[in-house]
Structure 1
Amino acid sequence: MTPTAKTRDNLLRGRTLLIGTALVGCSVFVMTACSSGGDENPKASSTPSSAKSSVAPSNIADPDAAAKRKVLGSYDRMWTEQMKAYHKADEKGTDLQKYATLDALGQVRNDLARMREAGTVVRGDVEHSKTEVKSIDLSAKTPKASVKDCMDISGWQTYNTRDKRVQPMPPGQKTRYWATATAERWDGQWLITSLTPHGDDAC
């Protein structure tokens, strides 16, 4: 039975989709020492960020291959829309709500508000490779999946629009490391419910 919008709003339990700026502790890119914990603050670019939507090759046909492609498609588009928002510190004009849970979207909005308060935006983009669906359960009442992704933040910059300067990354910051994400399917659409960076786990 297709859940109502109210039921979906009540049941989705998204964690943070924070991309990270110098403003927020334990952000995805800046505070790698907090890679799996800390403040749960949230979420792809004027040029789309490419989470490679390819499933690891196999000699045996994967019955879940089509569903995995859809998961990766939502993951890729979530990044694209999220980066659009961070490039201007504003969610307007993006489709983030199509690819993130309501709770996760709230975290994105919190992060964007902090960026606006500090006068910062994002420049550049995040690259993705080795992206794959590690697990998927289509038999669950709410289908679920997990994603693993190698993120490259070497092209990422936090720019202070007031000081007209780029804020440097902390010394020792890794520029390539693993991230994991979870997703759920609601009304036929895969939504990203959490994104966790593993800043100490280089890829």
Structure 2
Amino acid sequence: MLKVYNAMTAEETKAYQRADVKGTDLEKYASLDALGKIRNDVALMKEAGTVVRGGVQHDAEVTGINLTAKVPEAKLKDCVDLSKYETYDTKAKKVIPLPTSQPLRYYATATAQRWDGRWIVTDVDTQGGSKC
């Protein structure tokens, strides 16, 4: 499941870097619910004329797993690192600073489930938990 989560976040970065999910493999790694959150973010970025330069670094770990459930499920905790992340305004041609209240490293959580013999990310909460 970590391999799938890491692949999804890499594809997510590609989408954010061009404000477009086309040309990514997000559908391979994210359920419709998780993918919907990413598509919504990308749509807001496109409307605002912003893209991401650099990227988000991830250090995820499995915090719980239930392989005996009807639908096997894993919980993940990810230390999200924004130190190399920039939001860039393509119209004004300038970097938009992160809010001063935004920690550069914080925990996010995710859920992955095993569907038809493969893991897929079904939910991601990037609202930021405690600092890591």
TM-score, scaled relative to structure 2:
0.93
Structure 1 residue runs of 5 or longer lacking an equivalent are 1-70
Shift of 1:116: 1.1
Residue 24 of structure 2 aligns to a residue whose secondary structure is coil
- Structure 1 counterpart of 2:26: 96
The alpha carbon displacement at 1:198 in A equals: 5.7
Instruction: Provide the aligned C-alpha RMSD in A.
Output: 1.3
- Asked if 1:121 is matched to 2:51, the reply is yes
Report how far residue 194 of structure 1 moved.
Answer: 1.4
In 1, the alpha carbon distance for the partners of 2:84 and 2:4 equals 22
Asked whether 1:163 is paired with 2:92, we answer yes
CA contact (8 A) 1:101 1:193 kept: yes
Q: CA deviation at 1:103?
A: 2.1
Find the counterpart in structure 2 of residue 186 from structure 1. Answer: 115
Cα–Cα, structure 1 residues 116 and 81, in superposed 2: closer, same or farther, change >3 Å?
A: same
Q: Which residue of 2 aligns with 1:105?
A: 35
Aligned to 1:177: 106
Bigger strand share: 2
Aligned to 2:2: 72
Q: How many percent of aligned residue pairs carry the same amino acid?
A: 55
In structure 2, list runs of 5 or more residues that go unmatched.
none
Mapped to 2, the partners of 1:88 and 1:200 lie a distance apart of: 27
- 1:172 Cα deviation from its structure 2 partner: 3.0
Q: In structure 1, what residue type is equivalent to 2:83? A: S
Structure 1's consecutive aligned runs of 4 or more residues displaced over 2 angstroms after TM superposition are: 197-200
Q: TM-score, normalised by structure 1?
A: 0.62
Aligned to 1:63: none
